[in-house]
C-alpha cells in the first residue's frame, strides 16, 4: 500500500481517534499520518489464499491468523500499521486495551505491489524488527511468483530465503506449516 504523507504532525491519541471514523486506513509514524492505497485483484487473491491455507491449518491450534483490519503498534519506533496478515502465537497483547491494535505478532505477512515493494522490503522491515515478538517476516509478490522469507535467528540476525518456483514449498517455522508456493497464487494472473 503506498503512503501519502499528511501535512502536519499529530499525537498518537488524535491519530487513533481519527482512525475510528476514517473511511480508509492510515499508517502513523512519529507524528506523521500516511494514507494507505487500496489493493488490486492479484493482491486480494493472494491474501485470500494465504488466509485460507494458514487459517485452516491453525484451526484448533493455539496460534491464530488475523487479516489487515487489525492494526499493529511498534512501540520501539512509534509505527502503527496494518499488515496484510498477522499471526499471533501468544495471547494477543492490545495497545492500551484497544481491541483494534495489537503489539505482539509472531509472524507478519505482506503482499507486495509495485508501489510498496521497496518500502516493505526496506524501511518497513527495519521498523518491524522493533517487535521483540516477531520471529518471521514473509513477503509475497503480486506481480510475479516470488516468496521472500526472513527468519530471526538465535543471535537476533535475520536469515533470508527466496522461493520463486511454483512447485517449491516453504515453511512458516513459528507455526510448523509447510506451504506450497502455487497454493498462494491460485486464481492469480499477472498483469503485463
The CATH number linked to 163 is 3.90.1570.10
Examine residue 97 and state whether it is found in any structural domain, yes or no: yes
User: What are 78-98's pLDDT values in tens digits?
Assistant: 999 999 999 999 999 999 988
Q: Compute the CA torsion angle 132, 105, 101, 31 (nearest 10 deg).
A: 40
In this structure, is residue 32 part of a structural domain? no
pLDDT of 1 above 80: no
- Give CA–CA dist 113/1, Å, rounded: 7
Look up the domain containing 110 and give its range: 39-184
Q: Which residue in 79, 130, 84 sits closest to 108, CA to CA? A: 84
Number of domains in the chain: 1
The pLDDT score that the predictor gives to residue 192 is 45
Q: pLDDT digit string (tens) for 138-169?
A: 999 999 999 999 999 999 999 999 999 999 99
pLDDT surpassing 60 at residue 186: yes
Mean pLDDT score across all residues of the chain: 91
Q: How buried is 161 (Cβ within 10 angstroms: 0-12 exposed, 13-18 middle, 19+ buried)?
A: exposed
Query: According to the model, what pLDDT value does residue 3 have?
Result: 53
List, in sequence order, every residue forming a beta bridge with 101; answer none if it has no partner: 71
Full-model pTM = 0.91
Which of these ranges, 29-38, 55-64, 137-146, 148-157, has the smallest mean pLDDT? 29-38
Q: Are 131 and 105 in contact (CB under 8 A)?
A: yes
Residue 21 falls inside a structural domain: no
- The answer to whether position 138 is within a domain reads yes
d(CA 56, CA 126): 30
Amino acid at each position: 500500500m503506498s503512503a501519502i504523507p499528511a501535512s502536519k504532525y499529530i499525537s498518537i491519541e488524535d491519530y487513533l481517534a481519527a482512525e475510528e471514523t476514517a473511511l480508509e486506513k492510515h499508517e502513523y509514524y512519529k507524528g506523521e499520518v500516511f494514507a494507505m492505497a487500496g489493493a488490486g485483484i492479484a493482491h486480494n487473491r493472494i491474501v485470500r489464499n494465504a488466509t485460507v491455507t494458514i487459517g485452516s491449518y491453525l484451526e484448533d491450534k493455539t496460534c491464530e491468523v488475523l487479516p489487515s483490519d487489525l492494526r499493529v503498534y511498534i512501540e520501539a519506533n512509534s509505527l502503527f500499521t496494518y499488515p496484510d496478515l498477522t499471526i499471533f502465537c501468544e495471547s494477543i497483547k492490545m495497545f492500551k486495551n484497544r481491541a483494534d491494535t495489537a503489539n505482539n505478532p509472531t509472524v507478519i505477512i505482506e503482499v507486495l505491489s509495485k508501489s510498496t515493494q521497496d518500502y516493505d522490503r526496506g524501511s518497513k522491515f527495519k521498523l518491524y524488527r522493533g517487535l521483540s515478538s516477531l520471529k518471521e517476516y514473509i513477503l509475497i509478490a503480486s506481480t510475479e511468483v516470488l516468496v521472500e522469507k526472513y527468519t530471526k535467528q538465535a543471535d537476533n540476525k535475520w536469515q533470508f530465503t527466496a522461493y520463486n518456483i511454483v512447485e517449491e514449498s516453504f515453511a512458516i517455522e513459528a507455526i510448523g506449516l509447510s506451504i506450497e508456493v502455487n497454493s498462494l497464487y491460485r486464481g492469480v494472473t499477472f498483469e503485463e
